[in-house]
Amino acid sequence: MRIARKTSLGFLTYAIVFGSIFIQGCSKTEKHEVQGTVLDINKNPVASAKIEIFESPEDWLTGHNVLATMSSDLIGEFESPQIFEEGTYYIFVQKHDTSNWNIRDVEDGKYPTITLPMEGRTIQSVEANNMGLLANTSWKLTNSLEEYEMSGTKTKQWRSIWVNTNNCKKDNTLHFGKDLSLRISEGDVICKDTERNLLGSFVPPMIFTSYSCENLLYTSQKVKPFTFEGWESMKNKQAEMFLACDQGLGQMYIVYQINNNTKGLMVYTRRE
pLDDT of residue 244: 93
pLDDT of residue 6: 46
pLDDT of residue 222: 94
What rounded mean pLDDT belongs to the chain?
Answer: 86
pLDDT in tens, 59-68: 998 888 999 9
Same domain, 145 and 223: yes
CATH code, domain with 177:
2.40.128
Which among 80, 104, 129 is the end of a domain? 129
pLDDT of residue 38: 98
pLDDT of residue 128: 82
Model's pTM, two decimal places?
0.69
Is residue 23 domain-resident? no
Same domain, 85 and 48: yes
Same domain, 154 and 257: yes
Quote the number of domains for the chain. Answer: 2
Burial of residue 259, with CB atoms counted within 10 A of its CB: 0-12 exposed, 13-18 middle, 19 or more buried: exposed
Is residue 101 domain-resident? yes
User: Which residues does 102 contact at the CB level (< 8 Å), separation at least 6?
Assistant: 129, 131
Same domain, 142 and 241: yes
pLDDT of residue 215: 95
Which among 67, 100, 129 is the end of a domain? 129
pLDDT in tens, the chain (272 residues): 444 444 445 544 555 555 554 445 444 689 999 999 999 999 999 999 999 999 999 899 888 899 999 999 999 999 999 999 999 999 999 988 789 998 888 888 899 999 999 989 999 999 987 777 888 889 999 999 999 988 777 789 999 999 999 888 898 999 998 888 899 988 777 777 777 788 899 988 866 776 789 999 999 999 999 999 999 889 999 999 999 988 788 999 999 999 998 999 999 999 86
pLDDT of residue 2: 46
Could you give the CA distance from residue 19 to residue 16 in angstroms, rounded to a whole number? Answer: 5
Residue 16 phi, psi dihedral angles, 5° rounding:
-65, -45
> Within its chain, how far is the Cα of 262 from the centroid?
34
